[in-house]
Structure 1
């Protein structure tokens, strides 16, 4: 069965974006050639899930090209959002388990990337639908912002790999332990 993987960069103080939903702190940080290449990760992905805020941010900041054109995208929202013509994007709502099942089926055996944001990732984590975290922790403190994973229950994690990069960033892959 395909895993739901939350692949994200985070500040040392636990934020995935600043209070204005900006990623300047990340864009200014060079990871270096010892970081896991994005393309290697993306080859494992068969579908993506994201919340409405993340979807809107991507459309605003990448108006020339939808970055997930070759995989189905599921946008968790209660709002009516516009979808660029010809894109494989589905607006979904309902239980996290139903959305996860729909995305897994569309992923055809590959993993489902839970793109974000933090509240959307927490929704799936709290429903025991999140299997893996792939976090790149950037050594910067921004003081406030959008939290990594604002869950209301304890998540037990089993480290799979941890790599300190030459840049000072840390790549951490953990499995979520259910039960």
Structure 2
């Protein structure tokens, strides 16, 4: 079965983006020469699933950062919202996470990169997430979009690795239980 995997940066106070989805705070820490493992993580997944907020944010980047297929889960967007140069790289889907995972499993996709606060929460709630690699950025931004919001139950995590960097960033790698608690 297809499993979800997360790699995200988060401010020390728990935000993944400002309220307007901007990520300007991510670039305030000098990280030259540090390898946070994002390229290796991307190589380990078959497809990327994100929400419309994450998709719109990434569209504002200088260039499209992904070579893997991207599926945007959205009830409000459609194919007309995909820029022409990304039509062969991005799919808009109104499927539920359960329907999407079933389809990806049928297509033979083993590992999915799950990106975006609401999408992460829905995949966590359904026990589709198997690992999380969270990089804590030493900055307090005070307000924004939380990575983890309300959940319907506690989700126990097993810490696998802590990796500090000279910039002050710290990456925490967690494994989630195989069977829901």
Fold shared per TM-score above 0.5: yes
TM-score (norm 2): 0.86
Larger deviation, residues 30-39 vs 18-27: 30-39
Query: Is it true that 1:75 corresponds to 2:82 in the alignment?
Result: no
The runs of at least 4 consecutive aligned structure 1 residues that moved more than 4 Å come to: 104-107
3-state SS, counterpart of residue 174 of structure 2: strand
1:147-162, aligned counterparts within 5 Å? 147-152=146-151, 153-162=153-162
Q: Is the 8 A contact 1:126 1:151 kept in 2?
A: no
Aligned in 2, Cα 1:83/1:145: closer, same or farther, shift over 3 Å? same
Shift of 1:156: 0.9
1:9-158, aligned counterparts within 5 Å? 9-62=9-62, 65-68=63-66, 70-81=67-78, 82-85=81-84, 86-106=87-107, 108-109=109-110, 111-116=111-116, 118-152=117-151, 153-158=153-158
Shift of 1:35: 3.4
Cα-Cα RMSD:
1.9
Larger deviation, residues 77-86 vs 161-170: 77-86
Q: Is the 8 A contact 1:104 1:112 kept in 2?
A: no
Aligned in 2, Cα 1:107/1:113: closer, same or farther, shift over 3 Å? farther
TM-score (norm 1): 0.87
3-state SS, counterpart of residue 102 of structure 1: helix
> Please, which runs of 5 or more residues in structure 2 have no aligned partner?
none
Q: Quick one: distance in 2 between partners of 1:167 and 1:107? A: 39
The number of residue pairs the alignment matches comes to 174
Larger deviation, residues 92-101 vs 43-52: 92-101
3-state SS, counterpart of residue 90 of structure 1: strand
